[in-house]
Every structure is written in structure tokens, then in C-alpha cells.
């Protein structure tokens, strides 16, 4: 029996910087998961993933990640995605520079 579709976001890594990014509803890549498009329909998710895969000059490794609606936008449901929202584990790079 197929699993029920759960909400997703499209995520990847920027080609040049390597930072984790998420696809917005208007087609931009953002480093803030809260700005990502939360997708509730499987067919729409597959189309958005195909669109992301066609942007090999911008991102690498796009995939659909489970997410849930949060007060400020999509939130991760898996520890891997939570880790990716925090940036590199080296404090001298990426999102953690702002901390």
C-alpha cells in the first residue's frame, strides 16, 4: 500500500557556495526555509522538483523534504533538515556567522 503524501519543500545546495537553500513559490532559492513553498499535492511537488532539477547552473542535488506548516512558514520534520537550516557546523561560515 503506498504511503500517504505528506507536505514537502524542495531543497538543494547552491552550486557555488554549497549552502542549503529552499525553493520559494515564486521560483527563487532562499537560505531561509521559512520562505519556502510548502507543497501539499504530490503532483505539484513532482513538477516543482523537475523545475529545480533543470537549474543545474544554480543548485545541486535537489530533492523533496518533509515539512510542516509553522507559525512563521515551513518547518522541518526530520533532524537532517533541522541541521541543514542551521548552516555549516563550522561557526566561521554561512548562517552561523550571524549568531
pLDDT value of residue 2? 77
Give the residue numbers spanning the domain of 24: 8-89
Cβ contact 74:33 at 8 Å = yes
Is 32 exposed, middle or buried, given 0-12, 13-18 or 19+ CB atoms closer than 10 A?
middle
The whole model's pTM is what?
A: 0.86
In a domain, 95, yes or no: no
Percent residues over pLDDT 90 in the chain: 73
Element housing 50 (H / E): helix 42-53
Cβ contact 17:28 at 8 Å = no
Cβ contact 31:21 at 8 Å = yes
In a domain, 62, yes or no: yes
The cell 552561523 sits on which residue?
A: 96
In a domain, 72, yes or no: yes
In a domain, 1, yes or no: no
In a domain, 99, yes or no: no
Instruction: Give the tens place of pLDDT for each residue, 70-83.
Output: 999 999 999 889 88
Instruction: Give the tens place of pLDDT for each residue, 1-60.
Output: 778 999 999 999 999 988 999 999 999 999 999 999 999 999 999 999 999 999 999 999
pLDDT value of residue 88? 64
Total domains in the fold of the chain: 1
In a domain, 54, yes or no: yes
CB atoms within 10 A of CB 18: 12
Amino acid at each position: 500500500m503506498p504511503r500517504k503524501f505528506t507536505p514537502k519543500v524542495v531543497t538543494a545546495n547552491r552550486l557555488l557556495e554549497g549552502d542549503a537553500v529552499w525553493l520559494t513559490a515564486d521560483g527563487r532559492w532562499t537560505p531561509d526555509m521559512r520562505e519556502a513553498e510548502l507543497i501539499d499535492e504530490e503532483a505539484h511537488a513532482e513538477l516543482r522538483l523537475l523545475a529545480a532539477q533543470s537549474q543545474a547552473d544554480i543548485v545541486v542535488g535537489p530533492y523533496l523534504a518533509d515539512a510542516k506548516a509553522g507559525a512563521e512558514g515551513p518547518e522541518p520534520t526530520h533532524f537532517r533538515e533541522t541541521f541543514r537550516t542551521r548552516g555549516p557546523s563550522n561557526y566561521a561560515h554561512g548562517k552561523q556567522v550571524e549568531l
